[in-house]
Amino acid sequence: MQSVSSINLNKMEMRRAVAHDLKQLTQSERLQKSTRIQQKLQQVLVQKSGIWASFIPLASEPQLDWRLVSSAIQWCFPLIQENQLVFKGSVSLFQKNTLGFLEPSDGEIIPLSAIQGLIIPGLAFDRQGIRLGRGQGYYDRTLKNYKGSTVGVCFHTALKDFVPHEEHDLKCQLILTEETSVAVEGITSWN
């Protein structure tokens, strides 16, 4: 078993390598790949409704337009509060936080228990559903007891055979890239 310090070192190395790979994508490639991921999300969520959490993408993440993904879903977005994520619905305004992420600056707080599923960005994912985030642990802490659906999205270059992880690291049930869908944890159908 690896020590926590060696796992963290391996995570840092993978973050650097994936960030380098993502920087190699041209703007045109990012948009084409994002469009394919958005189409896959539309297919996966076609029969879903209720409240789902999503995110406002960073430049290195798939550029997704949630209004086009599903009009049957009420989207809510994460906001960092007290070292955890809270989610707000009915959002019309976003502002950049100190970490550079866009967060809702209006809207109503939605309890995690009311959210049917989450679309989660990751710097990388592996084929077992393990997410490599940016190192702050917000999703890991917030979702440690979450029972709803979890869908990870990333560019295919960031889908790895193995991501260094610890016991507390978030594991998604489905991973979508522009090239493939990887169902884990016995999830075989999303429609």
**pLDDT tens-place values along the chain, 191 residues long:** 555 555 556 888 989 999 999 999 999 999 999 999 999 999 999 999 999 999 999 999 999 999 999 999 999 999 999 889 999 999 999 999 988 889 999 999 999 999 999 999 999 999 999 999 886 879 988 999 999 999 999 999 999 999 887 777 789 999 999 999 999 865 544 44
pLDDT at 190: 46
Q: What is the pLDDT of residue 165?
A: 79
Residue 134 C-alpha from the chain's centroid: 11
- Domain boundaries defined on the chain: 4-183
What is the predicted pLDDT for the residue at 188?
46
Rounded Cα–Cα distance for residues 135 and 112 (Å):
22
> Hey, which residues does 84 pair with through a beta bridge?
81
Q: Identify whether the C-beta of residue 26 lies closer than 8 Å to the C-beta of residue 19.
A: no
Q: What is the pTM of this model?
A: 0.90
Q: What CATH topology corresponds to 4-183?
A: Rossmann fold (3.40.50)
Residue given tokens 């997704």 in the structure block: 64
For residue 117, CA distances in Å to 43, 114, 161, 183 come to: 15, 9, 25, 15
